[in-house]
Amino acid sequence: MRVVLAEDSVLLREGLVRLLEETGAQVCAAVGDGVQLLKAVEEHVPDLLITDVRMPPSHRDEGLKAAIEVRSRFPSVAVLVLSQYVETSYAGELLAGATTGAGLGYLLKDRVARFEDFSDAIARIAAGATVIDPEVIGALFANRGSADPVNTLSPRESQVLELMAQGLTNAGIARAIVVSGGAVEKHISAIFSKLGLHQSPDDHRRVLAVLQFLQKSY
């Protein structure tokens, strides 16, 4: 897997390079701002872009904006955005186009310190999954309005949707909550029904369910 990395902290950037190399990834470029990020993606067209949200010069959302531009211009490039804090609006903005293109991820930087979690998330994003940090998902659930269709889900269905948002497959969800694959399929079918997501020839209901959950939370 070929990776472009964007992080303005030199120490963290070097640490991420080492971690990525330990996972077997090839870091094509490691840069420190959004402009260099875009140039590196144009030059290498990697399998995966990993970027901080806040980059020079303003240290606001330059990394996020650059990631969204990459998503638009290079839909084959999977994107993982790292953030120091839980910013639900950033997650929703990043995933606005999640039904097309390669995998997407939004993780807190604390997750990087947990090597197994980080490497697993990278693998799932590179394989095309949408992966949201569990702490971000918890914040999203806490901010739901009473009229939100997500509030009609049962506790188990909410749990399944949360695991879907983390990028788990049906088999992964079944292992996590210790139920059969058939039970997971029934829960997901109920989620689709309650959220008004009907089957279509271009069926992205799994991503749409997660996206609906995210978009109505900021």
Domain positions in the chain: 2-137, 144-215
Whether residue 97 has pLDDT greater than 60: no
Task: Say whether pTM exceeds 0.85.
Answer: no
Confidence label for 61 from pLDDT (cuts 50, 70 and 90): confident
Whether residue 218 has pLDDT greater than 70: no
Concatenated DSSP letters of the chain:
-EEEEE-S-HHHHHHHHHHHHHTT-EEEEEESSHHHHHHHHHHH--SEEEEESS-TTTTSSHHHHHHHHHHHH-TTSEEEEEESS--HHHHHHHGGGTTSSS-EEEEEGGGGGSHHHHHHHHHHHHTT-EEE-HHHHHHHHHT--TT-GGGGS-HHHHHHHHHHHTT--HHHHHHHHT--HHHHHHHHHHHHHHTT----SS--HHHHHHHHHHHTT-
Q: Which residues, at least 6 apart from 84, have a Cβ–Cβ distance to it below 8 Å?
A: 53, 54, 108, 109
pLDDT digits (tens, 9 = 90+) for 14-45: 999 999 998 899 999 999 998 999 999 999 99
CA neighbor of 76 nearest in space, from 37, 39, 40, 103: 103
Cα separation, 28 vs 17, whole angstroms: 10
Whether residue 114 has pLDDT greater than 90: no
Task: Determine the pLDDT at residue 109.
Answer: 86
Mean pLDDT throughout 63-79? Answer: 90
Confidence label for 92 from pLDDT (cuts 50, 70 and 90): low
Task: Determine the pLDDT at residue 100.
Answer: 57
Cα separation, 107 vs 117, whole angstroms: 10
**What value does the mean pLDDT of the chain take?**
83
pLDDT digits (tens, 9 = 90+) for 140-191: 666 665 567 777 888 899 889 888 888 788 998 999 999 999 999 999 999 9
Mean pLDDT throughout 128-150? Answer: 73
- The CATH T-level fold of domain 2-137 is Rossmann fold (3.40.50)
- The CATH T-level fold of domain 144-215 is Arc Repressor Mutant, subunit A (1.10.10)
Whether residue 71 has pLDDT greater than 90: no
Percentage of residues of the chain with pLDDT beyond 90: 33
Whether residue 217 has pLDDT greater than 50: no
